[in-house]
Chain A
Amino acid sequence: MPLSVSLSIEGDTTVIELEGELDAKTAPDFHQTIEKAAGHGTSTVEIRMAGVGYMASAGLRSLVFAQQKVGEHVTIKVVGAIEPVSRTIRTAGLDRSIVLTDD
C-alpha cells in the first residue's frame, strides 16, 4: 500500500499526516516532506501516524532523520501511532527525543 503524505500548518505547529505503509519505498516521500517542514520554522512538528499500519526500519530511520533535520529546538510529536509502531519507536530509543502521544 502506498503512503499518502500531507503537510499543513496549524498555528505554531507543522502537521504531517501519514497514511499507508512507511517503508523503504515510501520513506523518500516522507523525507521530502520533513525537509519542507523543517523550513517552516514552527516550534513543533507533529507527525500523525494513526493511519500507518506498518513501519519498516526505513520508517524508523526517517524519524531519526527528522530529529536531525528540524534541529534540537523543535519538538517532534508522533501522534496516534498504533501499538506495534509505537512500541518499535520506544524500543529503538527514539522516544527520548520524540514525544509519543495517543492523540
Chain B
Amino acid sequence: MSEPASEQVLRVDAYPTHEVGGYRVRAGKPFPFGANVVPGGVSFSVFSDQATSMTLVIYKRGEPEPTAELEFPQEFRTGSVFAMTVFGLDHENIEYGYRADGPYDPVTGHRFDARQVLSDPYARLIAGRDVWGVEPDRSRGYQYRSRVCLQDFDWGDDTPLGIPAEDLVVYETHVRGFTRHPSSQVTAPGTFAGLREKIPYLKELGINCIELLPVFEFDESDNPRTNPETGEQLFDYWGYNTVSFFAPKAGYAATGRYGMQGDEFRTLIKDLHAAGIEVILDVVFNHTAEGNEQGPTISFKGLDNATYYMLTPEGYYFNFSGTGNTVNCNHPVVRNFVLDCLRHWVADYHIDGFRFDLAAILGRSPDGTPLPNPPLLELLAYDPVLRHTKLIAEAWDAGGLYEVGNFPAYGRWAEWNGKYRDTVRSFLKGDPGVTGELATRLAGSPDLYSSRGTSASVNFLTAHDGFSLADLVSYNDKHNEANGEGNNDGGNDNASWNCGAEGPTDDPEVGALRLRQMKNALAILFTSQGIPMLLSGDEVARTQQGNNNTYCQDNELSWFDWSQVDENSELLRFTREMIAFRKRHRELRSTSHPTGQLRDTLGLPDISWHGERAWQPDWSAESRLLAVARCGTGDDDVVYAAMNSHWEAHDLELPALPGGRSWHLFADTGAEAPHDIRTPGAELELENAGKYLIGPRSVVILVGRTPDTEL
C-alpha cells in the first residue's frame, strides 16, 4: 500500500545527480547485486574484479539493437562493484545487459571482450527463450536477455511446511514432461500451470515432496545433435546446463511470453504447499552453459572468468563436471553468489529444499583438490535463511570424486544413496550374496551414516538419470541409439534384468513377472529406513523404451503418459497403498538407526532378522531370502517384510508375537490383484499364524497387531 501523499517522505536518493547517455542517473547501491526497482528508477549493480570499465546496455523489449548504452562513471564504482540508478525507465518493457571491458589474456584467465553483451548473473527474469522449443534467431547479438522483475507476489499465508525429513516421500519429476503428453488434458501442457492442475493426482498418490529437475533458465535448443533414426532435432531437455541462476525458465510457463513466469511458478508452489507438498529444486552449481574455451560467452566468462571458473595453470578449464567447465564454488565471491541464489529461491519462491547436482564438486578447492572442510558447504549448512531447508547432495562428480557416506555434512546434508540403489537392484535381479548388504541398506545404511541418522540417506532405485522402473525389469542393456551418440552415452552398469525377454513382449509370464518385480522394488523402497524417492511415472510403469539417458528426448520417451494411469491402475494402487502404509508406521521412519535393542513394551528388538526359520537369517553367499521385523516408535505394531529374490518359493516360519497380537497380511506381491495389497489398517489376519509361504521372487509384508474385535 502506498502512503497518502501528505505523509510521503521526499527522498533525496530519488533524484538524479548525473546524466549519462541521455538518461538521468545517480550512484546506485552496491548491494544487492542485480537490477532492483527503487523510487523513480532502477538500480543496477554488478561485480567484476578485473573490468576496467562497465557499460549498461538497454534494449526495448525484443528489439535486436540497444536503445542506450550507459557507461558507469568511475565515481559509481565501489571496490569492484559498479552500481548505478537509472531514472525514468519503463522497467516492464526493457531488457538489459552489460559490456565489460578489460584484459583479454586467457593464460592468466581473463577473457574480457567489450563487443559482447553479457547477461546479469543476478537477473531475476530472462527473455530470449520465452516459449519452449521455438528455434532461436542466433544472428542476434544478445541471446539471453536480463529483465527487471518486480517482487510483488502475494503469498497470502503461505509458510514453509517444515515436514520432518524422515517423513518425506519424494517424487522426482520434470516440469514439462509431467504434463506435456496430450493425454494430460491440462489447459497448458508442459508448464508450471499444467503441473498445478495435477496436484490432486499427487495428493492422492500420497507423496509430500516434489523434486523438480532444473527450473533455472536454460537453453533447450543447446543441443546440436539429431536423432539418427528420425532426423528430428534433439534438445537439452533435462536442463542441467544453466544459463541464468536466479531466473525461472520462461519456457516452462504458459505465461512466459508475458514475462509472468515468476508469478506462475510461485502460484504452483503456493498451491503445492496448500496441498501439503514441499518443493525441492534440483540445482546445478558445478558448471554453467558457457562450456570450455570453445563455448559461448553468456555472462561469467566475460564478467570475471578467473573468478568464476576453475582454471588450469595454462588458463584452460578444469572439467570435473564432464561438461566443459567447473564453477569455482569455493572462491569467496562465487560462494556468496551460490548463497545469494539459494536465499533468493527460499525467500522469493518459498522453496523448501535443494538437491545439488554433482555436489562433490562443491567440496573442491580452486585447483580441484577435495577440501576437508569446504567453506561453501559449511556456509550453506549454517546460513540463517537456508536454516530449515532440506539440502541433498549427489555426492559424486565426473572427476572421480565419490563421497557417498563421506560428504562433508555439518549435520545438515542428506545424500542420494547410490549404494542403496545398486544393492537393492542387485538383490532384485537375483544376484547371490547380497543379503548382508541389503540388510544394511534397509536399516538406513548405518555403515555410511552412523553419526547422521537415517534421514541422511535418500533411498532410490530409479531417478531421471538411468532406467525407469519399468525398463529396469524389461531390459538387460541400454538402448540409447535415439540420442545420436552410437549408444555410447549413459551408464553401462545398470544392474537390470529383463525377466526373460528384451523389451516389449506378448509373453504373459514375462509380463506378470515384470509387474511383480516392480511391486517388489516399491515394497522394498517404502519399507526401508531413510527418505524414499520415487521417479515420476514409475507408479504407472512409464517406459523409456530402454533408453537410460533421455536428457535430450523431448517426446514420448520422456513424457508421462496419463493413459497409463488407467492402464496400469494395479501398479498405481499398489504404490499408493505402500506410501500410505509407510505413513502409518513410524518404525519405518525412525530417525535413528536400529540397534537390535529390546523394546520394553513388546519384548521384541527394534529390528530383527529372519530367514526360512524365525530368528535365523541366512547370510550365506547363496542366500536370496531375507526377512526383517521392526517394531516400534509410536505404535505398538510389528512390521515384518520378507524379501525373496529366489526363483523358488520358501516356507517362512514367522516369529512369535507378544501380547495377544497376531500376524495380518498387508501385501504379497506373489498374489493376484486385488489380493496383492490391502488398505493399511484393513490387513487380513492369517489363518495359519506361524507360517507363510512366500512365492518365487516375491515380497510379503505382514503386520503384527491386535486383531480387529468388531470383525
Contacts and interface: CB of A to CB of B under 8 A. Distances in A.
A, B in one complex: yes
A91 B255 contact: yes
A7 to B, nearest CB: 19
A57 interface: yes
A91 B254 contact: yes
15 contacts: A56-B258, A57-B255, A57-B260, A60-B258, A60-B263, A61-B92, A64-B263, A68-B152, A90-B187, A91-B187, A91-B253, A92-B260, A93-B196, A93-B263, A93-B264
Which of B153, B260, B266 counts the most chain A CB atoms within 10 A? Answer: B260
Contacts of A93: 193, 196, 263-264, 266-268, 270-271
Contacts of A91: 187-188, 191, 193, 253-255, 264
Given A57-B258, A57-B259, A87-B187, A68 B193 contact: no
Given A88-B255, A91-B191, 10 more contacts: A57-B255, A57-B258, A57-B260, A64-B263, A91-B188, A93-B196, A93-B267, A93-B270, A96-B267, A96-B271
A67 B258 contact: no
Nearest to B260: A92
Interface residues of A, number: 20
A68 to B, nearest CB: 6
A58 interface: yes
A24 interface: yes
A62 to B, nearest CB: 10
B150 interface: yes
Interface in B1-16: 1
A8 interface: no
Interface of A: 24, 56-58, 60-61, 64-65, 67-69, 87-88, 90-94, 96-97
A67 B255 contact: no
Contact of A92 (B92, B154, B263): B263
Contacts of B255: 57, 60, 88, 91-92
B93 interface: yes
B90 interface: yes
**Residue of A61, A67, A68 contacting most chain B CB atoms (<10 Å):** A61
A60 B193 CA distance: 15
Contact of A61 (B150, B188, B254, B268): B150
A70 to B, nearest CB: 11
Contacts of A68: 1, 152, 154
Contacts of B90: 24
Nearest to B91: A24
B264 A92 contact: yes
Nearest to A57: B258
Contacts of B259: 57
A90 B193 contact: yes
B258 A24 contact: no
Contacts of A61: 92, 150, 152
Interface in B150-202: 150, 152-154, 187-188, 191, 193, 196
B435 to A, nearest CB: 50
Contacts of A88: 254-255, 258, 260
A18 B92 CA distance: 21
Nearest to A97: B154
B603 to A, nearest CB: 54
A69 to B, nearest CB: 8
Interface string B648-663: 0000000000000000
A64 B187 contact: no
A60 B152 contact: no
Nearest to A87: B187
Contacts of B270: 93
Contacts of A96: 267, 271
Contacts of A97: 154
Top 7 A-B residue pairs of the complex, sorted by shortest distance between their CB atoms? A93-B267, A91-B254, A57-B258, A91-B193, A57-B259, A92-B260, A92-B255
A68 B156 CA distance: 11
Interface string B403-426: 000000000000000000000000
A33 to B, nearest CB: 16
